[in-house]
């Protein structure tokens, strides 16, 4: 009944938000652009907060229409390069003749859309030919399209790299680091010509036995039966994926917010104050963040449960027990793909050392084909967005790609 209860609450709140939206329009007309604090501006701020009190379940736009390449601005168009029921290989196509390194950015499938990596894409786009795994919301995938498990996730990486073609590079952020390392290992074991020239793993849980976080402890504190009973729900019949068992995005969001509840409460108090005081630029920054943060997608239940078990409970990859299509995954088979790992000093989701563990698994790579960087002063999101990413981490990612190209 988990999903049904959420849907019932959403249905009840929908007319309330609609009323608040209409009232906000009326108040805005009366304010007529005035930025002076007043009882009316306070009322408008309250109405706007009500209109924002809900989640969305569709992907926000990337909003990347152009990018500076050298000293000129070029148009960017989104191209569906390959499509499966569960994901689109999205190509940010630029209107240039210049050949650039092809890079597949692997986005997390953990309750948010791939647009969470908008800043990552925007930074890399000027000097690279960028593709991204644009994951679909599982509640929109009909049951007839079958299940989606951990094996399928790694299989998508292999398929997409083959579509992009030999000589590409892969950059995985957070959760997909494990599946990406699996995919590249499998490709190396089969001498696949499309195995990437470089593999950048950023803040990913390669071995969660190292410096366990609260997230890791939670995953190990309960038996798998608890996760299946308490966290898995059935999609309501009104959606295309009606009847599919999923780990709902709203459950994941609730868990993430609970980790830093005081910070989110403070942010919304400040948002209300900025709206009431006419500080629209400050308010816009907060609204943009939460527009993205409150856009959630559901994960196929089989993928979520297998991820918890294989990655966080059994540590199957670092212990040499993970299989792909019945064959044991062997990262030691990787010999030609350069490895670069990145971690954040203050990461409370994927702690320092967990991504670095990939170096111990890729034993056949010579030292000059391995790089590691620990970014001081940043948390999880600072690894792939913000100033540290743009000014310090990205230049190293770019150099690794250039050195291996």
Domain assignment of residue 265, given as a range: 2-54+253-293
**What SS3 class is residue 132?**
strand
Helices vs. strands in the chain: H and E counts, helices first: 14, 14
Joined tokens for residue 6 = 């959420």
Is 349 inside any structural domain? Answer: yes
| 213 and 289 assigned to the same domain | no
C-alpha count within 13 angstroms, C-beta hemisphere, residue 33: 0
Residues 311 and 283 in one domain: no
Is residue 60 assigned to a domain? no
Q: Which of 293, 322, 355 is the last residue of a domain?
A: 293
Query: How is residue 372 written in tokens?
Result: 């590691």
Q: Is residue 232 part of a domain?
A: no
Q: Would you say residue 36 has pLDDT above 70?
A: no
Structure confidence by residue, pLDDT tens digits, 334-343: 999 999 999 9
- Domain-terminating residue out of 264, 293, 322: 293
Write the CB contacts of 89 (distance below 8 Å, at least 6 apart in sequence). Answer: 80, 81, 82, 83, 104, 131, 132, 133, 134, 160, 163, 164
Q: How many domains is the chain built from? A: 2
Q: Of the candidates 238, 264, 293, which is a domain's last residue?
A: 293
Residue 230 lies in a domain: no
Same-domain check for residues 19 and 82: no
Q: How far is CA 273 from CA 33, 43, 211, 294, in A?
A: 17, 11, 39, 20
Angular region, 70: left φ>0, alpha ψ -120 to 50, beta rest: left
Q: How many CB atoms lie within 10 A of CB 59?
A: 17
**Tokens found for residue 252:** 């994941």
**279 and 327 share one domain:** no
| pLDDT tens, residue by residue, 229-248 | 999 999 999 999 999 999 99
State residue 44's pLDDT score.
81
Percent over 70 (pLDDT), the chain: 99
pLDDT band at 34 (very low <50, low <70, confident <90, very high): low
The Cα–Cα gap between 66 and 73 comes to 6
Kindly state whether residues 318 and 192 are assigned to the same domain: yes
Exposed / middle / buried, residue 391 (Cβ in 10 Å: 0-12, 13-18, 19+): exposed
Q: Is residue 258 part of a domain?
A: yes
Residue 307: CB partners within 8 Å, gap ≥ 6? 150, 175
Listed range (69-73, 251-255, 376-380) with the worst mean pLDDT: 251-255
> Would 335 be classed as within a structural domain?
yes
- In a shared domain, residues 274 and 140: no
Residue pair 351/213 in contact by the 8 Å Cβ criterion? yes
The enclosing H or E element of 133 equals strand 129-135
First-to-final CA distance of the chain: 52
Let me know if residue 383 belongs to a domain.
yes
Q: Looking at the structure, do residues 354 and 392 belong to the same domain, yes or no?
A: yes
Do residues 273 and 307 both lie within one domain? no
Considering the domain architecture, whether residues 283 and 303 belong to the same structural domain is answered as no
Q: What is the CATH number of the domain that holds 125?
A: 3.40.50.1820
Q: Looking at residue 121, what is its pLDDT?
A: 97
Chain-wide mean pLDDT for the chain?
92
| Residue 111, both tokens | 């309750």
Residues 287 and 303 in one domain: no
Which span out of 10-19, 47-56, 277-286 was modeled with the highest average pLDDT? Answer: 277-286
Per-residue pLDDT, averaged over 112-128, amounts to 95
Q: Are residues 146 and 48 in the same domain?
A: no
pLDDT band at 373 (very low <50, low <70, confident <90, very high): very high
Residue 227 falls within a domain, yes or no?
no
pTM of the model: 0.91
**One domain for residues 189 and 326:** yes
CA distance 357 to 90: 30
């Amino acid at each position: 009944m988990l999903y049904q209860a959420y849907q019932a609450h959403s249905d009840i709140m929908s007319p309330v938000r609609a009323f608040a939206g209409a009232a906000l329009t009326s108040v805005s007309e009366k304010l007529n652009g005035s930025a002076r604090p007043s009882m009316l501006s306070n009322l408008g701020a309250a109405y706007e907060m009500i209109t924002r009190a809900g989640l969305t379940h569709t992907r926000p736009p990337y909003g990347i229409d152009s990018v500076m390449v050298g000293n000129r601005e070029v148009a960017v168009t989104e191209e569906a390069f390959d499509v499966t029921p569960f994901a689109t290989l999205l190509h940010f196509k630029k209107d240039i003749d210049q050949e650039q390194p092809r890079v597949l950015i692997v986005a997390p499938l953990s309750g948010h859309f791939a647009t969470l990596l908008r800043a990552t894409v925007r930074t890399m786009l000027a000097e690279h030919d960028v593709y991204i795994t644009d994951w679909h919301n599982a509640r929109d995938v009909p049951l007839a399209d079958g299940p989606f498990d951990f094996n399928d996730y790694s299989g998508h990486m292999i398929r997409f790299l083959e579509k992009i073609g030999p000589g590409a590079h892969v950059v995985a952020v957070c959760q997909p680091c494990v599946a990406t390392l699996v995919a590249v290992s499998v490709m190396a074991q089969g001498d696949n010509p499309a195995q990437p020239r470089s593999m950048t793993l950023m803040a990913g849980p390669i071995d969660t036995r190292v410096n366990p976080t609260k997230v890791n402890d939670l995953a190990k504190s309960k038996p798998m039966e608890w996760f299946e009973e308490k966290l898995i729900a059935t999609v309501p019949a009104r959606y295309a994926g009606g009847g599919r068992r999923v780990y709902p995005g709203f459950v994941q969001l609730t868990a993430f917010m609970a980790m830093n509840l005081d910070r989110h409460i403070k942010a919304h108090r400040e948002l209300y104050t900025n709206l009431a005081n006419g500080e629209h630029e400050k308010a816009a920054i907060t609204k943009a963040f939460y527009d993205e943060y409150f856009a959630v997608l559901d994960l196929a239940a089989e993928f979520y449960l297998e991820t918890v078990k294989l990655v966080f409970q059994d540590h199957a990859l670092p212990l040499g027990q993970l299989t792909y299509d019945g064959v044991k995954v062997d990262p030691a088979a990787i010999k030609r793909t350069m490895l670069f790992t990145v971690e954040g000093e203050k990461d409370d989701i994927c702690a320092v050392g967990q991504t670095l563990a990939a170096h111990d698994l890729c034993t056949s790579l010579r030292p000059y084909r391995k790089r590691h960087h620990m970014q001081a002063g940043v948390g999880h999101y600072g690894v792939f967005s913000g100033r540290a990413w743009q000014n310090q981490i990205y230049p190293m990612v770019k150099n690794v790609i250039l050195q291996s190209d």
